[in-house]
Structure 1
Amino acid sequence: MLEPAYQVDVVVVGAGVAGLSAAHRLTSAGVTTAVLEAAPYVGGRMSTEKVDGFRLDRIGQLLFTSYPQLGRGPGLDALVLRSFAPGVLLHSDGRHHRAGAPAGGGSVRSARGALHAVRALASAPRSSAPPGGVRTGRALRPVPPDTGFRPDTPPHTGAAPAARLDAPFPGTAPLVRTGRPRPGLGERAQPFGIGAPLRLRTALARIAATPVERLLARPELPADQALAARGLPARTVDGFLRPLLSALLCDPDLTTSSRCADLALHAFASGRLCLPEGGAEVLPELLAGALPPGTVHTGVRVTSVATNSVTTAEHGEIRCRAVLVATDARTAAELLPGLRVPDFHPVTVVHHTTDEPPATGGHLLLDSDRGGPVAHTAVISHVDPSRAPAGRALVSSTVLGEPPADVDAAVRRHLSRLYGTSTARWETLAVHHTREAVPAMRPPHDLRRPVRLLAGLYVCGDHRDTSTLQGALHSAHRACAALLADLGTGRSLHRADPEPTSPRAAAA
């Protein structure tokens, strides 16, 4: 028998979320597709270790319910997202300042909840909490929403007296009412600076109301410089925005592009922090399970690619009409010589279990004081009970950057201060260190890096967009659009040049 001209329309190299999402779009368009994955499992960095009934994410990157690709992505109809409690907990001077839900138990946007916490910090005296206790700031009560929302109205710039901190601003609803600072406390009563809550609320409200296109058109700086240039006091940046953005971007020094930071704040203001029910691996497993049988092949290592073939260590050459490289950045550069390899942010996740969990109510806890290695922590089993067996709690804590030598001991000491309880009886389940966890997005950062290298050769992944799940999924969408356009217009190409074409000249 004569060998066919090609064995499959498209070969996708890599079975992470980008590659699997791309395979869905291609098969839905009637394009025969094979996904080749070197590892024995799908998911790439979105993997989950199972230990004694616990489900432990290796990276634990935070997601948002506002990610549009999670809501409309093919193959994700069965995905269940477990939301954190609205807002965050801020740990400052031995106290927790909680972002509370409005009266009546309704949900609020995460940005509003976070602002509640900042305003509580600004109006409450700074005294130490009782041992093991959680002290909140001054009581907060919601204000009816502003019905005169007009996104294009310029923001109010005049100074407002302390009694008018609830005055409405165009582009956002009023948030809370707070009283004046207690007499005689002065700056000590406002750890983020006098007037900071008002300026911070204005800044975040404007980001929440600004279309993404306008955010991307802003001048680009490192995020920490951009925050300082926008008139926010250093104490506000260091005490609230820095720990928040560090958690969202996995970047403790805020060297990330200000445009990417604005996108993170926009997502934070528009939705809720969340996790996939059952662990991070559930998302790629759902994508893989919804593909036609025989589409995904694990344990197949691709050694080279061309515009019309791939070569594997196990099965030799596989001929095709197009190749989509959907691996991590370093592997993609090995297959596509000349492709730029970005820097990375290391991430270490430490998982503990206890039968006496701290009472944080499913919030994400951030350390405003930065008094230890933990950037953020949460009782994950309060958010997603399926991640721990009955009667046990799962506490997952994230260390950004290079971890200390004895990371578990350092994390335990820090968690004892953050939660206000002894961690001596906590059991360590796992310590996962990923050196190349998140591609760095330092300025200048191209949020739409090319996905079409040559007609017949494409690349996607979080290193081509933003270093988030949303970025990986969106880059797959862009790559598939370019690939399908080439196939549909007949520019796929290989009849005139039947021999494999090297990608070296096309590397970007």
Structure 2
Amino acid sequence: MADTEPVLIIGAGMAGLACARTLQGAGVPFLLFDANEKVGGRVRTDEVDGYRLDRGFQVLLTAYPEARKFLDYEALDLKACYPGSRVWSGDRFHRVADPFRHPIDGIKSLGNPIGSLFDKIRVGMMRMGLLSTRSMPDDLSTLDALSKLGFGPAMIDRFWKPFMRGVFLENELSTTVRKFEETFRLFAQGGTVLPRLGIGELPKQLAGKLPQ
């Protein structure tokens, strides 16, 4: 390939845009193609009757290394989600809080029926790195890994399954333990946020730095 021939990038989703930014930074010519008028792929925000509606479940984990590399967090005006969950137990919602960021709420969470006291201690030990899945086989499922860590059925069914289903987009927690390990670390090390104007600001910001 001659030096003047551009690299062809098919798709202006987040991966395609990041590829374009990388090539731009290296001084490599490129052409970016997409079937849609707007960039972002599935990472989109629609404006309907004055409201901004993100497509699907969308959040940004600030600890993502690639996100920190490509995005200007300050310019996105990020708004943080509460570091915890509200879990329905059949009669009412119960809060499960991150005790490292909200100690008082974390203490209150100890008495709720979402798992046993020891289950919650195990989550804290995982958060501190005192309980780990690193010695487990790489191909072990998340569900089996949680059982091996000692979590009881109530904690798995009421907390881990609903939470990780939303992340992995599969119901059986068959995703490998290594992916779970990485995901848990990202949630623990950073914030869960959204840009003030919607998730569509991520691809918009990346595209704004590219030549027309």
How do 1:139-288 residues align onto structure 2 when only pairs under 5 Å count?
Answer: 190=113, 192-193=115-116, 195-206=118-129, 215=134, 218-288=137-207
Give the equivalent residue in structure 2 for 1:321.
none
Query: How many angstroms does 1:7 deviate by?
Result: 5.9
Partners in 2 of 1:75 and 1:284 — Cα distance?
12
Partners in 2 of 1:27 and 1:203 — Cα distance?
40
Query: How many angstroms does 1:81 deviate by?
Result: 2.0
Give the equivalent residue in structure 2 for 1:26.
23
Matched position secondary structure for 2:110:
helix
How do 1:71-470 residues align onto structure 2 when only pairs under 5 Å count?
Answer: 71-73=68-70, 78-99=75-96, 108=101, 116=107, 118-121=109-112, 190=113, 192-193=115-116, 195-206=118-129, 215=134, 218-293=137-212
**Paired residues of 1:118 and 1:240 also in contact (CA < 8 A):** no
Query: How many angstroms does 1:191 deviate by?
Result: 5.4
Give the equivalent residue in structure 1 for 2:64.
67
Equivalent pairs: percent with the same residue?
A: 31
Q: Under a length normalisation based on structure 2, what TM-score does the superposition of the two structures give?
A: 0.83
User: Which of these two proteins has the greater Rg computed from alpha carbons?
Assistant: 1
Unaligned runs of 5+ in 2: none
Counting matched residue pairs gives 211
Structure 1 segments of 4 or more deviating over 3 A? Answer: 5-8, 74-77, 99-102, 112-118, 214-219
**Paired residues of 2:94 and 2:114 also in contact (CA < 8 A):** no
Partners in 2 of 1:262 and 1:114 — Cα distance?
25
Partners in 1 of 2:165 and 2:66 — Cα distance?
23
Of Structure 1 and Structure 2, the greater helix share is in 2
Partners in 2 of 1:56 and 1:79 — Cα distance?
17
Matched position secondary structure for 2:188:
helix
How do 1:454-493 residues align onto structure 2 when only pairs under 5 Å count?
Answer: none
When the two chains are superposed, the root-mean-square deviation of aligned CA atoms in Å is: 3.0
Q: Under a length normalisation based on structure 1, what TM-score does the superposition of the two structures give?
A: 0.37
Larger RCO (CA under 8 A, 6+ residues apart)? 2
**Paired residues of 1:101 and 1:113 also in contact (CA < 8 A):** no
Query: How many angstroms does 1:252 deviate by?
Result: 2.6
Query: How many angstroms does 1:11 deviate by?
Result: 1.6
**Paired residues of 1:21 and 1:73 also in contact (CA < 8 A):** yes
Query: How many angstroms does 1:279 deviate by?
Result: 1.5
Q: Deviations over 1:99-125 (max 9, x none)?
A: 5688xxxx817xx7995564131xxxx
